[in-house]
Each structure stands twice: as C-alpha cells, then as structure tokens.
Amino acid sequence: FDKTGTLTEGHPELTEIEPEPGFAADDILRLAAAAEARSEHPLARAIVAAAQARGLSLPDADGVEARPGRGLAAMVEGQRLLVGNRRALEEAGIAADHLAARVNALAAEGRTPILVALNGSTVAVLAVADPIKQGAAEAVAALHRAGLKTAMISGDARATAEAVARRLGID
C-alpha cells in the first residue's frame, strides 16, 4: 500500500502546538501559517487551515525559500522564521536537542513533528497527522485472513510510517 491517500485520508491536520515558555500558540501558528501560505505541500496546508480555523489574520511573508525535504525559511514581520524538521534547524545552526525526546515521541505516535524557529531560536513544536481512512484496518485484516502479507510505502519519517503501520496491522 501507498500510505497517503490509500490507507490515510491524504489530508493532514494540525494536532498540536507546543510553544516554548514565553511564546503563545496562536502567535506561533500565525507566523508559521504566514510563511506557509503559498506552499502546496500538504503539511503547509494543514498549518494554514488550522490558522484559518482559529480566525487568525496572516501577515505577509517575504523571501520565502523552500528547502526541499526540510521545510522553509521566510521573513515575517521583520523576523527570520524557519519552519521544518530537525535537519533543517541543524543545517541552519539552530539548537533543538532539548526537543528531541518530544519530536521522537510525536513521530512514534504517527504524527509528523514540525519545528518552528524564530530569529535563530527554536520556539515551538507543531504536530501534524494524516487520519487513517475508515475501513483501512479492516481491509488489511481481510488480506491477512486470505493468507497475504502486507507492506506499506511512505515518504514520511520512518517512525511516523511505522506507527501508522502498527495501528493498521501492516506486516
């Protein structure tokens, strides 16, 4: 199986915003959504949709630079913003080691962790998940009853994909 859109809905949703002390969740979401507003990436769309659902007005983002497989960088309200995975922050020289356990835990739960850095400091962890389609687990179980083994491919982080596979009973 291809995971996204076959076993899952294919429409990720923001499930968590965990700001560092001194930062407000809505402020982080507003800035991250501003940076992601023009992106077609499913994770970006989930962040923007969450901001819209909260009625947050998005400022303009300048100098948006996509970092394939990592995230993106932008200037929002005169602040340097980086939204992406741990590798994106590491490559930018931004420390995120103190969040490693939380990032790993989110991935183990089947969520995609997204880090947000502002002016060179990590300020939040966001989590996005793609809901499992109704009937997916039953379809996998029916294949097992027929004597077939199942496998899944995904472009997600390994821990995230493995968590979805466990929930569905994929071999």
Residues assigned a catalytic role: 2
Contact 43, 156 (CB under 8 A): no
CA angle 160, 170, 106 (to 5 degrees): 15
- C-alpha–C-alpha distance, residues 126 and 3, integer Å: 21
What span, in angstroms and rounded, lies between the C-alpha atoms of 35 and 29?
10
In 29-141, the DSSP E strands lie at 61-67, 71-76, 79-84, 112-118, 121-129
The whole-angstrom separation of Cα 76 and Cα 164 is 34
